[in-house]
């Protein structure tokens, strides 16, 4: 998935230079330029740092990577996971974000989104902390998180798959 055009659109909308965003994100200007031009794919960690620099989220930048379609089937083979194990489940929609995460997830990072969010454990087991309270989710469990609630999550079993769906403000 080429997230570059979405990053460029967001950067330009904020009237920021490549150098300013690169400095804020802690990446090099050449790397950011390569990402924007589709010549390099950022890791999920780098994508999140770029998103932070743009006052956005990795999920929003991934959603903006393609144009929205009124009806769209996303085949597993056509939407490979990023280096960080995230696979988009919808393409191009700014109001709805849906990603599938497989593998490790950054427990040290706390998230706070402008829109509501749902985490669904498709396989395995995950721990989610919301407002300092821990919740263990088993396969088939769902957790709703209201907008602006600080949270973090991680898989607690190998091959855990977590679907994260949310709305933009």
Ordered by where they begin, the domains of the chain are 4-63 (1.10.260.40), 76-167 (2.60.120.10)
User: DSSP assignment of 38-107, as one string?
Assistant: TS----HHHHHHHHHHTTS-HHHHHHTTS---SS----GGGS---TTSEEESS-S-SSEEEEEEES---T
What does pLDDT average to in each consecutive run of 10 residues of the chain (169 residues)? Answer: 83 92 96 93 87 84 73 77 72 74 82 86 96 95 93 93 81
For residue 16, the model assigns a pLDDT of 94
Question: CB under 8 Å to 148, separation ≥6 — which residues?
Answer: 112, 113, 114
Query: Which token pair is 31?
Result: 């790397």
Residue 164 phi, psi dihedral angles, 5° rounding: -115, 120
For residue 72, the model assigns a pLDDT of 78
pTM of the model: 0.70
For residue 24, the model assigns a pLDDT of 96
């Amino acid at each position: 998935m080429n997230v570059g055009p979405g990053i460029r659109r967001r950067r330009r909308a904020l009237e920021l230079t490549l150098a300013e965003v690169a400095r804020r994100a802690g990446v090099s200007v050449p790397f950011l330029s390569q990402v924007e031009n589709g010549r390099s794919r950022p890791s999920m960690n780098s994508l999140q740092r770029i998103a932070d620099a743009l006052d956005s989220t990795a999920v929003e930048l991934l959603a903006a990577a393609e144009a929205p379609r009124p009806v769209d089937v996303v085949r597993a083979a056509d939407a490979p996971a990023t280096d960080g194990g995230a696979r988009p489940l919808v393409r191009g929609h700014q109001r709805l974000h849906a990603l599938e995460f497989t593998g490790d997830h950054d427990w040290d990072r706390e998230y706070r989104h402008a829109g509501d969010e749902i985490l669904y454990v498709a396989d395995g087991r995950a721990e989610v902390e919301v407002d300092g309270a821990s919740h263990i989710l088993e396969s088939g469990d769902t957790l709703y998180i209201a907008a602006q609630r600080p949270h973090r999550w991680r898989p607690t079993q190998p091959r855990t798959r977590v679907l994260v769906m949310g709305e933009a403000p």
